[in-house]
Amino acid sequence: MAVSSLKLTVEEKKYWKFCMLNIRVVPDALRMYFDGLIPPTGLATTINQNSTTIVNLVNRRVINSAQLDTLQRIPGTIWPPRCPTVASGPNASSSSDFDVTLMVCLLRNVPLPGIYQPASGWDNLPIPSDTSPGAHLSRIAITFCNGGHCPNAIMEILHCDLDGSQNGVIISCLMTEIEAVKRDLILVEVDLQRTELQLENVQSDFHFYKDGHLPKNIS
């Protein structure tokens, strides 16, 4: 394999950025936004006030058992009798244990100021000009549902966060991750060059001996 094949195309570089954004940046940015709207000190109260809604989401399998377990282990929460009990241990949980899909689900379904369903609906990619919090939540949800299949329009949110307050932090973190990837690629290229050189030496020795140059004791 030629070393040049390791050079990333523009699309591949965007995909690397997309992956780093999803894995390392989006969860923290979303959690900061979540905690800003539902402070950790009032999380149990908010859950108790919306427990019926949450139970309905559980029954519709929008919230899975692992996510319900996390919610039930939040100190101070009170659950209606018809809610399944899945708490698996005594360890208390908090919003720091929420995954992206659970945070998006709660932000969508718990009445909160400033969050409204975008004109395109929760489950459709909003138009690029829609920069409302609800639109960004839809983009995040669609991105995670698609996994590695990234619609081109989603790439446009690489420079955005939910309310624009963390742009500098996001870009800084993202560039740090990209530089780390570049360094790893350089190391891979060096190792590949060394391996190719060793392979060439082995092939040269093979052809040399194949042409009848074996030592007498070996032949």
Residue pair 38/54 in contact (Cβ under 8 Å)? The answer is no
CA–CA gap between residue 143 and residue 18 (Å, rounded): 9
Q: Which two tokens stand for residue 47?
A: 């859950």
Range of the domain at 86: 10-212
> Does 86 fall in a domain?
yes
Confidence of residue 81 (pLDDT cuts 50, 70, 90): confident
Q: Indicate the number of domains in the chain.
A: 1
> Does 2 fall in a domain?
no
Please report the pLDDT score of residue 71 as a whole number.
92
CA–CA gap between residue 86 and residue 77 (Å, rounded): 14
Per-residue pLDDT reduced to its tens digit, 10-59: 676 666 666 766 666 778 888 888 998 999 999 999 999 999 999 999 99
> Does 63 fall in a domain?
yes
Q: Kindly state the average pLDDT of the residues 79-86.
A: 80
Phi-psi region of 181 (alpha: psi -120 to 50; beta: other; left: phi over 0): alpha
> Does 219 fall in a domain?
no
> Does 96 fall in a domain?
yes
> Does 4 fall in a domain?
no
> Does 180 fall in a domain?
yes
> Does 43 fall in a domain?
yes
Q: Which two tokens stand for residue 35?
A: 């905690």
Per-residue pLDDT reduced to its tens digit, 146-177: 554 444 444 444 444 445 555 555 556 556 65
pTM: 0.62
Per-residue pLDDT reduced to its tens digit, 173-214: 556 656 666 666 676 667 677 777 777 777 776 666 666 666
